[in-house]
Structure 1
Amino acid sequence: MQKIALVLFDGARLFDTAVVDEVWGARSGPDVELRRCAATKDPVELVGGAVFKPERTFSWLRTADVVVVPGLANLDAEPSPELLAALRAAHRAGAQVAGLCLGAFVLGAAGLLDDRPAVTHWRFTRELARRHPRAEVDPGVLFTGADGVWTSAGVAAGIDLCLHLVRLTLGADVAASIARSMVTAPFRSGGQAQFITAPSPARDEEPLAAVRERALRELRRPLTVAELAGWAAMSERTFARRFVAETGTTPLRWLLDQRIARAQQLLESSDLPVAEIAGCCGFGSAVSFRQHFTRHVGIAPSRYRTDFRPATASASR
């Protein structure tokens, strides 16, 4: 039985709490116990006027496998000492502790982001880094974590993180089933840089979109910035500058991200050997593929296939 604690406090965002209910509620099956936890069992009013009645107090966090903190509506709100102490105790007890969106600031106030990767909504990543200088803030990712402490970017990225935590605790099959029932992707590639507002003339968007589509069709072979720039009829310097303005990342980093994303899909859905997947995704060798994949995803390709391959599929080793 997996115990999931949804942390409630006055002024929390309703959307984030609803995400936790959607992911770990009835959709996740009978092996999950989801409890709403607050300082007391008195009703808690969220932003927008919704009122929730807690089922447990913060002391229950120490028994939970996963603790999820919804986002703050007001960054100037001070988390209670009781909540911060309960989050630290839950983490010491081995729980996966997650802050959705501006919930990262609550984890930061508890000292849980020190010397760990972190993210929040892209509008507030600089403020998160300013308030918590020991946190390793990465403004480009949808979610990130280490040592049992997780944070997500804005709004919908909370769904991504929750599904990832389901994969970690209940398995890839359950996460995929929940994602299907929610009509969402079980895993979104890319980062929140693609959602950051960046001025770009309308006439530039279409050529670069066409370049990216063509590159995705030709990932199997080596691609250079010069070749991509040629497709767009631009100089390398102009192409690179406009590519960053439009996507928030460099052409080569974008290509690597897409190669890794394609490899993840193949590891999850095919019986292809790792060496063949490396070739399909445009890596020069299986060794290079393993190095890039492990650095990018955090685990080796073979381990990823073991952890995230649906149990119904037969994988060749």
Structure 2
Amino acid sequence: MQVEWEKKFWLGDDEIERLGYEFMYNGRPTPKRVDEEVIDFWDASWAAQLDFMEKYDPSLSDKSLEIMWAVTAAYHNQYPTHPDGCYITCAEGPPVKEPRSAAQRAAEEFARHWAKVKGPEWTNADGAKYAYYVWTKQKDRALKMVTKFKEKWIAAYKDVISAAATFWSVPDWVLAGIAYQEVGGSPPLDRAAFVARLSSGQIEKARLTSFGPLSIQYRLALDLLGYKSVNETLAWEIIDLVENPAGNLFLAAKYLSNLHAKEGGAWTDVEVRRVATAYNGSGSDAQRYGSRFMNSVPIVKHLMYGSTVSV
């Protein structure tokens, strides 16, 4: 295992102390705390420290790495109040049982720190205009409109995409490629559809309602967060999370990671197509989705790594 081999060259405790705790055991810089709600790296559990060192990617900015530490610590239930595991609001006294799953804690922390990134929104008016172009057979205008939005969206959330993908060990251009397929298009009537289906007693259909920029089904969100069923309060918290662009990207990256884990190995073109197809579902529509995804890869890589974006 690569990490086990690298441990042979890790710094010892005496060396760590001599260097003023400015470097982790793997020789990489110790992440700084984003704010007071994030535990200091050296006060956290060994499991949290090791997880972060394994996720560490030097290509990320210092700010992205600081956020990754905050998210990793939250995943392991590590907060300043009680390093041995406690929800931050427990204040003084012994640790209490954390009601949220590890994945939800991490996703909410990720969304909290990336909240300042504000990309373009595909409004109901945009969706209606796009639908009108399609309905009136003005396909060129429809394509130009939605393509321009996709490019601007990925440009705005590029750092968020990279951070979410890195946390779940997914190539960032793969996550960006899914975003390129998903954002824009139909009007975002997700919440209204969810309420209407619940009100009419269509519980299972309501669970299939998709939310957020990358169209994550409510049922899938529950699974990704580690829940089988939740109460009403938590249900709306989850919907809020999935509708948040950063939270949505974080869960989409986790789903891609889960899909990849079924086969494992390298992210070859064959594997990327399989994962992208599975993200959409199964059958001929999903196969076409996979083909569109692969055809868009050069565009997506240019948006992620190139210097210009069409306007």
TM-score with structure 2 setting the length: 0.29
Structure with the bigger percentage of strand: 1
Q: Which has the higher contact order (CA 8 A, sep 6+)?
A: 2
